[in-house]
Structure 1
Amino acid sequence: MSASAASAPESLAAAIDRVGGAVQLLRNAPAAPTVFPVTPEFSNWRSEQKSWRTSVALLDQSHHMTDLFLRGPDALRLLSDVGVNSFAKFGVDNAKQFIAVNHEGYLIGDAILFYLAEEEFDLVGHPMVIDWVQFHLEKGDYDATFERDGNSIVRPGNPALYRYELQGPNALALMERVTGAPVPPTKFFHMTTFTIDGLEVRSLRHGMAGQPGFELFGPWEQGERVRQAIIDAGAEFDLVLVGSKAYSSANLESAWVPSPLPAIFSGEGTQEYREWLPAARAGSLAGSLVSDDIEDYYITPYDIGYGRSVAFDHDFIGRAALERHAAAPPRTKVTLVWRPEDIAAAQATLLEPGVPAKYIDFPKARYGLYQVDRVVKDGVDVGISHDCGYITNEHAFVSLASIELAHAEPGTEVTVIWGEEPNTNKPVVEPHRQIAIRATVEPAPYSAYARENYRAG
């Protein structure tokens, strides 16, 4: 064996073979849940959560996401071959939620795709779908190049871009003050350019927690100057700096599921991918769903509300299978509102003798990169619960779930099984006992404002 081969990181395929299966590997993986390497709290996460509903919040997105910069004549063809989205009217200064599936139509993941310039794109998000696109570029026949800028946990040095989010009812007025000009009408997920403190700043019309918002980005070297100008102008608009604790929970209000398990562990064309992908990027699996069949953890785009983004106007990986899923989607996305008394009882076990319930952290309770908990009705499994946490603005602890259509009507009573049985070896898992928490099915997004404005957009 050559020295280079000996020092190469273990592939996902090799790691699965070593432990005897994908489920065993993921359920006992040392990988932590998603880490946001920014200040946890500037004040307190409750007040910071409230700010995007009552004034204006400034969130720093520069450090926790991966950028894949794609350039070249075939970059758009690559994205069209891999993505389920329509690209027929996609042009410069547009963005979209890019979604990819495997050959069997199960979800690989999603990310935000920015059309920066002719033949130039930036795919931004968690690594799951970014790895999938990079693999197909490297293995395919495409006249295109890429540059990958990992997050601040894995990347030496500074990011290529700063990325800030301004959101809340005062965001528009603050932008007009800091730019010194009226904000031009910009459609949702379209881009425009502003001048802040003499610097050119690109902006995506966006709203992460269902509130009006702007995602601002530019060269890293200019980021602190732009940030300070926003802070200086923001005092009269009650600008609140938001840390990672509150930021990590914003998706619960907009009903975006951040990290469903990617369908890369079985199916056509995935063995070569697993041999290419380092095992360290596989992530960890947490929750009460236990099955030896990794496909029991897979979902389709329709299970988490991505059906509106699927377009059968072009050929792409998984199209035929996805058409079959579209004909009869078994599940849909809902919000589950957990019973306060059951949460209180679970937390009370920490103050009692004996083995407690699995600790429920606030504001985000996920303890694996992929959180998959059983949802049952009358003792029968009817879906899975994904991301869970507390929304100060709604005074509610909720989870985003994929539920069988027959049980998805708002007001339906279900039960979330919380905790692992048996306990796994993940470092974040303490000895605990499994419990049942009652929950009520509600719409996704749960926030009426987000449903009527953000998703309607």
Structure 2
Amino acid sequence: MTESLQAAIDRLGSPMELLRNSPARPTVFPVAPEFSNWRSEQHSWRTSCALLDQSHHMTDLFVRGPGAERLLSGLAVNSFARFPVDRAKQFIAVNHQGQLIGDAILAHLEEESYNLVGHQMVIDWVQFHAETGGHDVEVERDGNSIVRQGNPRLFRYELQGPAAPAIVEKLIGGAVPHIGFFHMGRFPIAGLEVRSIRHGMAGQPGYELFGPWADGGRVRDALLEAGAEFGLTQVGAKGYSTANLESGWVPSPVPAIFSDDALRAYREWLPAPAAGSLGGSYDSADIEDYYLTPYDLDYGRSVAFDHDFMGSDALKGLPQGSHRRKVTLVWNPDDVQEAIGSLLRPGLPAKYIELPKARYALYQVDQVLQDGAGIGQSFDCGYIANEQSFVSLASLDPGTAEIGAEVSVLWGEEPNSTKLQVEPHRQVAVRATVAPAPFVQFARESYRAA
């Protein structure tokens, strides 16, 4: 029998011991690492068009029944006032104290039928409440290809880049019908009806195409054939994993589930392996120091108090100006070069910086310093070939470093944890310049405005 999260915390004495020294093996992304090379694959979503296969690494939760909307709206900070069939949204969930659980993409497929897609943190949360909250719903879970036996239920392909509309036009034999941001439509592709969500993963124009898994190969072949003249490029796991750095999305903040007595039943329901692992230089014995609110990650625009949802009273009570602000940190190239170069010199090296994505735990939380004082947390980090920059996404305390200011990111752990991904190393301070998030100008000024 799999140990529950609560049992694991009780056995080890604290959630920090569980997360910091997680025995989980490094995750193998269930898509080819590269089809050509990750640098060219990154360039494709900026200069032509990228084809990203999203069929395998995310978890799907299908929620159906008369109680589906009540369940989902009661767990989401988002408004459901204008959410008809053929719409999608970023679904953001918090606990009863207004602290972030996570986010995912929610699609309204049919009347009383929804599909929630994303990392397992928010999927687990919704499934638990569906099963234990007395809602008139049925849920069906389709795990990612790491844990699932057999094929996915759905194929899911992302067309991303300036040539995406032209490729779709060629496929459907006419002008692309106007589909608003996060609206859904249907395209005739290879004799099949393929559903589409209008959005993108790297802050560029894009369509997410999905349908029954049995149709996936036929649709992919049609996409590759139609896209050949436009430079359509298949993107592997390495390139795909960096797309969020351009759009400014933090994929895995620490979910606020590990400490509150009110969530004990949830921790007893949740298997311990679902807890994940924690890495980075931000080091506190109190897990609640890692918790965030939606405002800390710039999700305030999605918080709607037009409905009753878990955590609404707590969010209403937050003092004005108390939240952090999300930024991009552009790491100093000389300091990055020095850290990487330490592997080639005698002595204890810096923590290995893997390219293009350097995150080595599910939850990466590094200390951000200004004039020696901690001012926030740095999360996902990696290299953007389109900007020739190594960056991280961060959340900084109010009233601290403004755009253009110099800060530093403390890279590496002290003491070194026992995670399998962690080798003996020394901490180093990497200078960084504060920049906007999203970092890419197009995403910030055009795409994000949608």
Contact 1:32–1:284 (8 Å) recurs in 2: no
- Conservation of the 8 A alpha-carbon contact between 1:300 and 1:325: no
Alignment correspondent of 1:4: none
1:5: which partner in 2? none
Instruction: Tell me what 2:312 maps to.
Output: 319
**How far apart, CA to CA, are the structure 2 residues paired with 1:334 and 1:246?**
22
Aligned residues of 1:264 and 1:270 also touching (Cα < 8 A): yes
Aligned-partner Cα distance in 1 for 2:319–2:186 = 38
Separation in 1, partners of 2:376, 2:297: 11
Q: Displacement of 1:182 after TM fit?
A: 1.4
Give the aligned partner of residue 360 of structure 1: 353
Cα drift, residue 32 of structure 1: 4.8
Amino acid at match of 1:157: G
Partner in structure 1 of residue 92 of structure 2? 99
1:70 maps to 63
Quick check: 1:197–1:225 contact (8 Å CA) kept in 2?
A: yes
After TM superposition, the structure 1 stretch with the greater mean CA deviation from structure 2, 24-33 or 341-350, is 24-33
Q: Output the CA distance in 2 between the equivalents of 1:142 and 1:98.
A: 19
Residue 295 of structure 2 corresponds to 302
2:118 is aligned to 125
Gaps of 5+ in 2: none
1:109 aligned onto 2:76? no
Letter in 1 for 2:288: E
> Match of 1:269, SS?
helix
Q: Which amino acid aligns with 1:203?
A: S
Classify the secondary structure of the residue corresponding to 2:104. strand
Q: Is the 8 A contact 1:66 1:124 kept in 2?
A: yes
Aligned residues: CA RMSD: 1.0
The alpha-carbon distance between structure 1 residues 246 and 270, as it changes in their structure 2 partners (threshold 3 A), is same
- C-alpha distance in 1, partners of 2:120/2:50? 26
Which of the residues 443, 447, 455 maps onto 2:440? 447
Q: Structure 2 CA distance, aligned partners of 1:158 and 1:426? A: 31
CA distance in 2, matches of 1:219, 1:326: 47
| 1:229 corresponding residue in structure 2 | 222
Say if 1:350 and 1:356, in contact at 8 Å, map to a contact too. Answer: yes
> Quick one: which of 143, 161, 164 aligns to 2:136?
143
Q: In the comparison of the two structures, how many residue pairs are matched?
A: 450
Match of 1:416 in 2: 409
For residue 408 of structure 1, report the CA deviation from its aligned partner. 4.2
Structure 1: which 5+ runs fail to align? Answer: 1-7
Q: 1:25 is aligned with what amino acid?
A: L
Letter in 2 for 1:41: E
Distance 2:24 2:232 in 1: 35
- Distance in 2, matches of 1:325 and 1:348, equals 45
**2:361 equivalent to 1:387:** no
> Residue type of the partner of 2:404?
G
Q: Percent identity?
A: 67
Structure 1 residue 267: deviation in Å?
A: 2.2
Question: Does the residue aligned with 1:26 lie in a helix, a strand or coil?
Answer: helix
Alpha-carbon distance between aligned partners in 2 of 1:328 and 1:264, rounded to the nearest angstrom? 25
Match of 1:168 among 161, 164, 170: 161
The one-letter code matched in structure 2 to 1:126 is H
2:79 equivalent to 1:86: yes
1:58 pairs, out of 29, 51, 67, with: 51
Deviations along 1:316-348, one digit per CA (max 9) or x if unpaired, are: 111111112363333010000000000000011
* Aligned residue runs from structure 1 range 397-408, under 5 A: 397-408=390-401
**Superposed, which structure 2 residues align to 1:8-87 within 5 Å?**
8-32=1-25, 35-87=28-80
Q: Which runs of 4+ in 1 moved over 6 A?
A: none
Tell me which residue corresponds to 2:327.
334
SS in 2 for 1:450: helix
Matches within 5 A, 1:202-213: 202-213=195-206
Query: Structure 1: how far apart are the matches of 2:164 and 2:322?
Result: 38
Task: Give a deviation string over 1:212-268, Cα, whole Å, max 9, x none.
Answer: 000000000000000000001111111111000000000000000000010001225
SS at match of 1:394: coil
Q: Which letter maps to 2:340? A: Q
The residue matched to 1:416 in structure 2 has which SS? strand
Cα distance between partner residues in 2 of 1:34 and 1:325: 37
The answer to whether the 8 A contact 2:26-2:420 is kept is no
Q: Is 1:161–1:217's contact at 8 Å kept on the other side of the alignment?
A: yes
Q: CA deviation at 1:391?
A: 0.4
Q: Which residue does the alignment assign to 1:3?
A: none
What is residue 424 of structure 2 aligned with on the other side? 431
Letter of the aligned partner of 1:444 in structure 2?
A: A
Q: Which structure 2 residues correspond to residues 246-265 of structure 1 after superposition, within 5 A?
A: 246-265=239-258
Instruction: State the shift of 1:148 in Å.
Output: 0.1
The TM-score with structure 2 as length reference comes to: 0.99
**How far apart in 1 are the matches of 2:230 and 2:440?**
23
Letter in 2 for 1:119: E
Relative to structure 1, is the Cα distance of residues 213 and 169 closer, same or farther in structure 2, using a 3 angstrom cutoff?
same
Counterpart position of 2:266: 273
Distance 1:31 1:325, change over 3 A: farther
Counterpart position of 1:283: 276
What is the CA–CA distance in structure 2 between the aligned matches of 1:114 and 1:269, rounded to whole Å? Answer: 30
Change (3 A) 1:145 1:90: same
Q: Tell me the TM-score normalised to structure 1 length.
A: 0.97
- In structure 2, the partner of 1:350 is 343
Written as runs of structure 1 = structure 2, the 5 A alignment for 1:185-200 is 185-200=178-193
Letter in 1 for 2:277: S
Contact 1:170 1:237 in 2 (8 A): yes
Instruction: Report the 3-state secondary structure (helix = DSSP H, G, I; strand = E; otherwise coil) of the residue aligned with 2:241.
Output: helix
